[in-house]
Amino acid sequence: MAPVRAKIITLETAVEAIHTYNRGEYRGRPNIELDRSATDMFREGLGRTLERIRDQVGFIGRDYGGFAGFPAASSLAPTIAEAIFACRDDYASAAAMARPLHEELPPADTVETLCKPFIQPFKRKRNWLVWGPKFWHFLRSDVFPIEDSRVDAFFHLNWRPDPVIRYLEMVRCFRTFALANEAWLPRLREADGELTCDIKLWDKVFYSLGDHKHTSTC
């Protein structure tokens, strides 16, 4: 298995990254407000009606940046929601049966099941590997990290055409780094002050530091 390449950071750098994230905004809304809204949206799990799933998919795409810079992709939200609703019980079960990330990596077949509804063609894009992981994260925040370009940059990951392979590679790097620096968690939790889950703590760090240049191998 290839070693994990990651940015060189210290505990103090990670603490400041969390402060930076918590002070930040997305389209005029504070990051921490958006996180709270997304958590509330999924508090009872995956919606039980098509209308509720549409609300969840739409919120993550529109308000939480799942469109990844393609706002016109909002037209896909009903199609994605319908695809999830069509296999709603299997979809919810796949997420529910995954073990917490600190115990093991999510199985490839689980990620494939969760990813499938988000593989929808739109102009020159086909799979929405920002929209999907953001949705899965709030569905099971103890299992699925968010993937976006900044997190990929933190780990110097190359683009992969297969969304399942690409996501699993990111998760392996994410988990390896988090476990190697597990002793930092008490300080990171204290710095956050938002009762954030540990996966989201690390996401705040990687997202905030994703454009820094220094690298190391861990």
Q: What is the per-residue pLDDT for 91?
A: 97
Please give the model's pTM, rounded to 2 decimal places.
0.92
pLDDT tens per residue across span 119-130: 988 766 665 678
For residue 165, give the nearest of 115, 108, 100 by alpha carbon.
108
Q: What is the per-residue pLDDT for 169?
A: 95
Contacts of 187 (CB under 8 A, 6+ apart): 11, 15
pLDDT tens per residue across span 32-61: 999 999 999 999 999 999 999 999 999 999
For residue 168, give the nearest of 180, 179, 155, 181 by alpha carbon.
155
Instruction: Please name the helix (run of DSSP H) or strand (run of DSSP E) that holds residue 217, with its range, or none.
Output: strand 215-217
64 CB burial (10 A radius; 0-12, 13-18, 19+): buried
Q: What is the per-residue pLDDT for 138?
A: 97
What is the C-alpha to C-alpha distance for residues 52 and 10, in angstroms, rounded to an integer? 42
pLDDT tens per residue across span 80-135: 999 999 999 999 999 999 999 999 999 999 999 999 999 988 766 665 678 999 99
